[in-house]
Structure 1
Amino acid sequence: MTGEVKVSVVVPTYNSGGHLQQLIDSLLRQSMPATDFEIIFADDGSTDDTPARLAALAAAHPNVEVLRCPHSGWPSRPRNLALARARGEYVQFVDDDDWLAEEALERLYGYAVTNGADIAIGKMTGHGRSVPRDLFRVNRPDARLANSPLIGSLTCHKMFRRAFLLEHDLRFPDEHRKRLEDHHFVIRAYLLSRRTSVLSDYTCYHHARRPDGGNLTATRMEPAGYYGSLREVLDIVDAHTEPGPLRDKLHRRWLRTEMIRRLRGNRLRNAPRDWVDQVAAEVRKTIQERFAPTVAGQLPAVERTVVGLVTEGRVEDLLRLAEWDAGIRARTRLKAYELTGSTLTVLLNSQLRSGEEPLTIRQVDGRDRLVLPVEVPDEWVDCTEDLGRARLDVVAQHATGHEEFFLPVHFEVDREAGAADEFQVRYRGAVTVDFAGLNGGRTQGGWILKARVTGYGWSLDTKLPLEITCPADGARPVVVDKRKKKAPAAPPQPGPGRLRRMAGSVRRQLGLART
């Protein structure tokens, strides 16, 4: 190909073999004409049949180019080499085990151009990997770090204006095996971007974990190097921000995701003890040297407790807390449902539970205290403010494609009195979804409904016992209640629209009807 193209797709590879095929198929199916985009595979010294596969692909398709480089052991150098060869107005980074939806390049490029974006982020869905769900609740033509959950998305699987990358000499750190290389690149890009746009009404990017665990960076991290690299990322943040709420918000992302989550639940209890001690030491060093007290001060109670324990070097108590934390579950009860035409109405109750018992809160001197299995200062477990931040979501997920959509939910969070001065928290909600319009009418296949219960430092999913199938796009769904051995397509509940009226009544009872 000659001349400038709209999009350059950059893919680093290493011993990818047959795992590449799903990505290749998705690129060849793109709705954007092949003359409008190029695909640059940068192979990091593969020793299997990957080079031969790529050579055959390039021979058959003029918009495919293959670069070969000596093995570096990490995706940074291949990405930089491909970026130097790219000619597109925009550059889209894709990993070799992921794939794109058929209209991804066309839609995301059009969205970027319409909004004049330096960075355009297409909605992601995960296959064995987590993705930043909250970022994709709505389209965000002008997403900013200060007023959106943008900091939750730090992988490089985005579309960047190439002139913007050149203007600021944005490259991946080119050292061998540099951990958090995405974070180095993306946070600097966010802080320099004049406009960042998030496309949420079409799932563009499928983020996958290889069944053989062979992703390029899928090895247990070495704590000293990992957290050394993280502190370099914090240096980038500090160089572009002043002390205050924005810096605290950004710092809090790394505190929660790269530190606290590694010291909670199964991630901690299943890790080797010597590795746990190393992680705890690195986390303690980072918290003490880099974070203002206000960073941890805004966390929910259980996360503040983890920070307190690791800062005081109480690793045994961290392990005891992790053992208990691993048993926290969300439980949701389907109270009623009704299908009217293509519209499904659901009423549900949810609760966070510790084993078989509800999560317990205790009132002490007019303040709420989270009851934990370790002795800690009252201020660590003060959760008085957490009740107001609790929420209930319902997500519709396609059973095979895994595309997810937040549904409009009206909910309230109630206290339920327990023994003496204790209480539990119950979530009560109502959701109505018209399957004819879900996902722009692309509804054929099976669907799963999941309640997502958020509060007190947890955000947990639980499936609703409904099996939903749309025989064709936009068709009336067939709903089967899995609690019953045999269930008709439509639940046997008297009176058309009865539950929709009940849901309306619930919304009125909830007053302001939070969604």
Structure 2
Amino acid sequence: MGVKVSVIVSVRNPGAAADAGIRSVLEQSLPPDEYEVIFVDDGSAEPFAARLDALAASRPNVRVLHLEPTGSPMRGRNMGIAAAKGEYVYLLDQGDRLEPDALARMYARAVATEADVLLGRLVREESGPQTAFGINRDRADILRDRLLTQLTPHKLFRRRFLADHDLRFPEPGGALAECAFVLRAYLSAKVIAILADRVCCHVAARARPSDDPETIAEEVRALLDVVDEHTVPGKLRDRVYAHWLRVAVLRPFTTRRFLTSSQNRGVLFTTLRELVLERFPPHLDSHLPVHLRAVAALLRAGRLDELCLLAGTSRGVRMRAELHGARWDDGVLTLTLGAEIVDADGSPMRFARSRDGRLFWRPPVNAPILPPDLADVSDAVARARLSVHVRHAETGVTYALPATGGVTLLRDSDPDARREDGVDDTVRVRLEGEARLDPCTAALGHPLPRGLWEIHVRAHGGAYRASARLGAAEDAIDCVGTVTEYPRRLVMPCWTRNGELAVCVEPRSYAESIALVSQGVSITRRRGHLFVVVPVPYVPPSGGPAVELVLRSRSREVAVPALAEPGIPGRMTGQLIAKVPVRRLPAEDCLRPGRWSPSLRVDGREVDLRFTLEMSLLNRVRLRSATLPAAPAPSGSSRARRVWRRAALR
């Protein structure tokens, strides 16, 4: 049987960073005679180059191409493709890592779908959820499946397809050289398939591309020439053009660098304004988010000062997401959520509402930037929705959760809100919804792997798209764990060290399961003792092992038994109660003035808990959380601040 897949790995003095990636391509489940690995070495120093030669000498399916250094992987990729023998080729960078069965799965899927290009599910260190991998696709669409968000070369390409269309990477290539290659492949392919239900490749963090305005403009022109060559005027061309207008041309005007460097600001403005006037007609602006429509309008009008003002006042706009409740329904965790876009100062974003009910974006600068038809966000708000996904804290793997909900318009109660001609009032747009997490099927029909899964929320529609982690309203979450039917595992909601919602699948120990919810601790002083009550999310049928609460302060240690008792129905399955002696004067095995760090000791092993105790010289004991949410406490009344602090300790 011939070679099924040729893996082409671009390397240049990677050091130890390439070790995991090299092992991953050498230890594939495909038999060695069914795939080959071609290392394309861009002038590495002798130690690493010799190591590659040693690998090739010991493995018949490994080859090495040594090149003169160019500083770019593009020439090496072209030479690797030309030397490949496989039916398909897969491109990797140093530091990337394949799953053990990735080549076998991708090849089988590509053959079954007769794909020219196949996208296997990626995990990127520096990015969030990737909507292109929401579902397996036999026939993927560039627009519907958001393939323009997947323009790195980590794909399976049919080698004959590349040859027939003379697809090569530009040499030496710039920041958008990979994008140009992949975009040309998308537009030339008869069949593009997606393998979404299994992770195939972990993509390492990549170097930041050049942001020289003249280089960007030149490469964008080349990309648009590719689009013109492979499309006809219409929806597809307009949407692809709008994508590059958004990510390569307008986005730089929203960055901190644009605001802080006056010299680079002028060059950027002049160069990209010329590009916009030349290649991006105004009718494309309707495909942009409304704040980028304003950037495009100011850029075309040559209004640099107002563009700087818009960028400055828009920075810090974000989404604030809240958890209102969490409950288990037949083994499915149901989360009740709310979210709202807020300005940099934390105040809710407001939209103008006309007398006929249409909603309009109100720019943060006091200038008529957009005509009414482009400022109208009524349809976008009507389509607004919440999307929720889980992300593995260690691997970065993400999966979308089913979510439902809708939009609520809240009439503005601010008496100082601006009123304009034709505007009846101003409103806030609030998103409400529910998300359901089934631990047995959340990984695209498969059980969630073991570990800590963070909960992330995104808002789509209206004036902005934004994402956030989940904070909590008071009493929003219980810490009850549940045991899934198949496979049988403990799954429990908890708080991360940053005070944000997560779900732990199969904690490593009984003590760890308690530590994850230990922010819910409470203390009571009574008759010379401190009673420390720690919630227990799940009590084994046996009642659990013997547990000690250990408190340490510098070189001192106090250890007392922690006894399990029934918990609060619907709130926690159990609680550990430890009775700690308290003395103002020095005494053995007693709490004394100082800061005490707690842990649980079970079977001789200890796990740190997420709170601390502080005892003052006046014999007063205070409870402090070791973890607080990243967001600052809101301004306002002292009562509001107290509510926020209590929520942070949950």
TM-score (ref. length: structure 2): 0.70
Q: How many pairs does the alignment contain?
A: 485
The match for 1:263 among 253, 257, 265 is 253
Distance in 1 (alpha carbons) for counterparts of 2:400 and 2:216: 34
1:507 match: none
Once the two structures are superposed, what CA deviation does each residue of 1:29-75 show, in whole Å capped at 9, x if it has no partner?
A: 32222322111111111237431332233233322211111111211
1:316 aligns with 2:324: no
**Residue aligned with 1:256, SS:** helix
**Residue aligned with 2:269, SS:** helix
The match for 1:53 among 51, 54, 77 is 51
2:6 match: 8
* Alpha-carbon shift at residue 370 of structure 1 (Å): 1.7
* 1:466-477 correspondence to structure 2 within 5 Å: 475-477=489-491
Once the two structures are superposed, what CA deviation does each residue of 1:62-98 show, in whole Å capped at 9, x if it has no partner?
A: 2221111111121110100111110111111111122
- Select the structure with the greater relative contact order (CA < 8 A; seq sep ≥ 6): 1
* Alpha-carbon shift at residue 399 of structure 1 (Å): 1.1
1:505 match: none
1:250 aligns with 2:240: yes
* Alpha-carbon shift at residue 295 of structure 1 (Å): 1.2
Structure 1 stretch displaced more, 452-461 or 195-204? 452-461
The answer for unaligned runs of 5 or more in structure 2 is 418-424, 472-476, 500-518, 522-534, 539-566, 573-650
1:178 aligns with 2:213: no
**Residue aligned with 2:139, SS:** strand
2:25 match: 27
Distance in 2 (alpha carbons) for counterparts of 1:433 and 1:493: 22
**What letter matches 1:156 in structure 2?**
P
User: Identity across aligned pairs (percent)?
Assistant: 33
Q: RMSD of aligned C-alpha atoms?
A: 2.6
Distance in 1 (alpha carbons) for counterparts of 2:392 and 2:182: 29
**Residue aligned with 2:211, SS:** coil
The answer for unaligned runs of 5 or more in structure 1 is 497-515
Distance in 2 (alpha carbons) for counterparts of 1:132 and 1:230: 26
* Alpha-carbon shift at residue 248 of structure 1 (Å): 0.2
1:376 match: 368
Distance in 2 (alpha carbons) for counterparts of 1:156 and 1:386: 33
Structure 1 stretch displaced more, 431-440 or 403-412? 431-440
1:169 aligns with 2:158: no
Distance in 1 (alpha carbons) for counterparts of 2:482 and 2:341: 29
- Whether contact under 8 Å (1:58, 1:65) holds in the other structure is yes
* 1:14-163 correspondence to structure 2 within 5 Å: 14-47=12-45, 49-128=47-126, 130=127, 133-163=130-160
CA gap of 1:289–1:6, structure 2 versus 1, over 3 A, is: same
Distance in 1 (alpha carbons) for counterparts of 2:326 and 2:267: 50
**Residue aligned with 1:281, SS:** helix
**Residue aligned with 2:278, SS:** helix
Structure 1 stretch displaced more, 260-269 or 117-126? 260-269
CA gap of 1:443–1:146, structure 2 versus 1, over 3 A, is: closer
* 1:416-435 correspondence to structure 2 within 5 Å: 416-418=410-412, 419=414, 421-435=425-439
1:407 aligns with 2:396: no
**Residue aligned with 1:243, SS:** coil
2:352 match: 362
2:334 match: 345
**What letter matches 2:451 in structure 1?**
G
1:328 aligns with 2:317: yes
* Alpha-carbon shift at residue 304 of structure 1 (Å): 0.3
2:520 match: 485
Once the two structures are superposed, what CA deviation does each residue of 1:309-351 show, in whole Å capped at 9, x if it has no partner?
A: 1222222322222222221121111111013564211111111
Distance in 2 (alpha carbons) for counterparts of 1:131 and 1:93: 22
**Residue aligned with 2:338, SS:** strand
* Alpha-carbon shift at residue 369 of structure 1 (Å): 2.1
2:457 match: 451
**Residue aligned with 1:46, SS:** coil
**Residue aligned with 2:169, SS:** coil
Distance in 2 (alpha carbons) for counterparts of 1:493 and 1:90: 58
Distance in 2 (alpha carbons) for counterparts of 1:113 and 1:412: 41
**Residue aligned with 2:4, SS:** strand
**What letter matches 1:157 in structure 2?**
H
* Alpha-carbon shift at residue 127 of structure 1 (Å): 0.5
- Whether contact under 8 Å (2:132, 2:145) holds in the other structure is yes
In terms of Rg, which structure is larger? 2
**What letter matches 1:444 in structure 2?**
R
Distance in 2 (alpha carbons) for counterparts of 1:492 and 1:450: 29
**Residue aligned with 1:415, SS:** strand
1:463 aligns with 2:469: yes
Distance in 1 (alpha carbons) for counterparts of 2:105 and 2:56: 25
* Alpha-carbon shift at residue 457 of structure 1 (Å): 4.5
* Alpha-carbon shift at residue 106 of structure 1 (Å): 1.3
CA gap of 1:157–1:276, structure 2 versus 1, over 3 A, is: farther
Once the two structures are superposed, what CA deviation does each residue of 1:133-161 show, in whole Å capped at 9, x if it has no partner?
A: 12111112101225431222211111100
The match for 1:193 among 172, 183, 189 is 189
**What letter matches 1:376 in structure 2?**
P
Structure ranking higher in helix proportion: 1
After superposing on structure 2, the runs of 4+ consecutive aligned residues of structure 1 that deviate more than 4 Å are 465-474, 481-484, 490-493
1:204 match: 200
**What letter matches 2:376 in structure 1?**
D
**What letter matches 2:441 in structure 1?**
G
2:545 match: none
Distance in 2 (alpha carbons) for counterparts of 1:373 and 1:315: 16
CA gap of 1:277–1:132, structure 2 versus 1, over 3 A, is: farther
Once the two structures are superposed, what CA deviation does each residue of 1:259-285 show, in whole Å capped at 9, x if it has no partner?
A: 222211446335x33223222223222
**Residue aligned with 1:88, SS:** coil
CA gap of 1:36–1:457, structure 2 versus 1, over 3 A, is: farther
* Alpha-carbon shift at residue 470 of structure 1 (Å): 9.7
Distance in 1 (alpha carbons) for counterparts of 2:159 and 2:482: 42
Once the two structures are superposed, what CA deviation does each residue of 1:101-160 show, in whole Å capped at 9, x if it has no partner?
A: 2222111111111100000001112102x3771211111210122543122221111110
CA gap of 1:286–1:317, structure 2 versus 1, over 3 A, is: same
* 1:226-237 correspondence to structure 2 within 5 Å: 226-237=216-227
Distance in 2 (alpha carbons) for counterparts of 1:437 and 1:347: 20
Distance in 2 (alpha carbons) for counterparts of 1:441 and 1:359: 39
- Whether contact under 8 Å (2:297, 2:370) holds in the other structure is no
**What letter matches 1:302 in structure 2?**
H
Once the two structures are superposed, what CA deviation does each residue of 1:408-452 show, in whole Å capped at 9, x if it has no partner?
A: 000111111113611111111111121022322251111111111
- Whether contact under 8 Å (1:446, 1:469) holds in the other structure is no
**What letter matches 2:183 in structure 1?**
I
**Residue aligned with 1:5, SS:** coil
1:509 match: none
Structure 1 stretch displaced more, 113-122 or 439-448? 439-448
CA gap of 1:105–1:442, structure 2 versus 1, over 3 A, is: farther
**What letter matches 1:476 in structure 2?**
L
Structure 1 stretch displaced more, 95-104 or 163-172? 95-104
Distance in 1 (alpha carbons) for counterparts of 2:166 and 2:128: 28
CA gap of 1:410–1:323, structure 2 versus 1, over 3 A, is: same
